[in-house]
Amino acid sequence: MRLATLSWELVTASIRGQMQYRLNFLIDVAFGLVFSSIGFVFIWVVLGRFDQIGGWTLSEVALLYGMRLTSHGIWTVNFSRLFAIDRIVRDGEFDRMLIRPMPMMLQLMYGSFRMATLGDLLGGIIILGVALTQVSIDWSVGKLILLACALVGGAMLDGAFQLGPAAMTFRTLQSMPVRGLFDDIFGRFSGYPTSIFDRSARFLLMWIVPVAFVAWVPATVLLDRTAELPFPGWLGWLSPLAGVTCIAIAGWLFVHESR
């Protein structure tokens, strides 16, 4: 309870500071919303000509994109300060975090709040909400729980491939190129059905950089398309655990390297 209170106080203090310049606040949120939606506009244009991609309709791909973007928004809203980890370490700010009477990870998460991340989250929620009204899903309590867990698990998976490489900063003072590479991979591929790629790409996106578990794997369960999975369909219900596993490993690595 105390940690939740501290988190809320840090976030609200940061927001109050930025709200002194309300026009900048609105511009930041609008920029995040527009930027996050550009990728879906491209998908809409392509599928407007070809109707479907790999057997997936525009509405079904919109579901994938909405899930991916919402997960990304959940991650960035909570860990937006990680984008500046290189500077934080080089300038000695991280050392000051370690001596403050507050958990280091809490300071890293909520010490400074980027308003543009609200645009990412809002864009994802809008696209996901519209997609859910257009696709045919045989809803059940289990599928509702899976959707909620998949969004959180996707955020953890996205974050794991930012937090883990960020540990490099304590050795090299720079991790942005690696983090940028993983961010680009997640952004480019997690909003598409993994089944449309060739065998080598599917292996990479399933088992090396497992972006398939952000949206495609749970979406196949929601849409009753588990026949496309390269493993028994019931395992698709466990897809959020990929995020839990990866973020646990990344968190351990980050804390270990920071000592």
Q: What is the pLDDT of residues 92-136, one digit of tens each?
A: 888 888 887 778 888 787 766 677 777 788 888 989 998 999 999
Residue 167's identity, in one-letter code, is A
CA distances for 198 relative to 53, 54, 193, angstroms: 14, 12, 12
**What is the rounded distance in angstroms from the CA atom of residue 131 to the CA atom of residue 22?**
32
- Give the CA angle between residues 252, 253, 255 to the nearest 5°: 65
Token code pair at residue 234: 């019931």
Q: What is the pLDDT of residues 168-194, one digit of tens each?
A: 999 998 999 999 999 999 988 998 999
pLDDT for residue 139 = 96
Across the range 202-230, mean pLDDT stands at: 96
Across the range 15-34, mean pLDDT stands at: 67
CA distances for 215 relative to 9, 187, 191, 226, angstroms: 32, 12, 7, 13
Q: Quick one: what percent of the chain has pLDDT higher than 90?
A: 57
Phi-psi region of 240 (alpha: psi -120 to 50; beta: other; left: phi over 0): alpha
Across the range 15-31, mean pLDDT stands at: 66
| Residue whose C-alpha is closest to residue 216's, from 230, 179, 161, 176 | 230
Q: What is the pLDDT of residues 223-236, one digit of tens each?
A: 999 999 999 999 99
Say if residue 83's pLDDT is above 90: no
- Residues contacting residue 33 through CB under 8 Å, at least 6 positions apart: 119, 120, 122, 123
Token code pair at residue 132: 């859910």
pLDDT for residue 25 = 65
pLDDT for residue 3 = 59
pLDDT for residue 81 = 82
102-116, 144-158, 199-213, 235-249: range with lowest mean pLDDT = 102-116
| Residue whose C-alpha is closest to residue 147's, from 247, 215, 205 | 215
pLDDT for residue 17 = 62
Q: Give CB contacts under 8 A, 24+ apart, made by 103-108.
A: 103/3, 104/258, 105/251, 105/255, 106/3, 106/6, 106/7, 106/10, 107/10, 108/79, 108/81, 108/82
Higher local confidence (pLDDT), 11 or 140: 140
pLDDT for residue 117 = 77
Q: Where are the beta strands (DSSP E) in 22-86?
A: 52-53, 56-57
Q: Quick one: what percent of the chain has pLDDT higher than 70?
A: 83
Instruction: Say if CB 18 and CB 113 are below 8 A apart.
Output: yes
Across the range 46-60, mean pLDDT stands at: 80
CA distances for 3 relative to 50, 61, 103, 186, 206, angstroms: 50, 38, 9, 30, 35
Mean pLDDT (the chain) is: 87
- For the chain, the residue count is 259
**What is the rounded distance in angstroms from the CA atom of residue 163 to the CA atom of residue 179?**
8
Across the range 24-42, mean pLDDT stands at: 70
Say if residue 165's pLDDT is above 90: yes
Residue extents of the structural domains in the chain: 2-258
pLDDT for residue 105 = 82
**What is the rounded distance in angstroms from the CA atom of residue 201 to the CA atom of residue 195?**
9
State CA 195 to chain mean position distance: 21
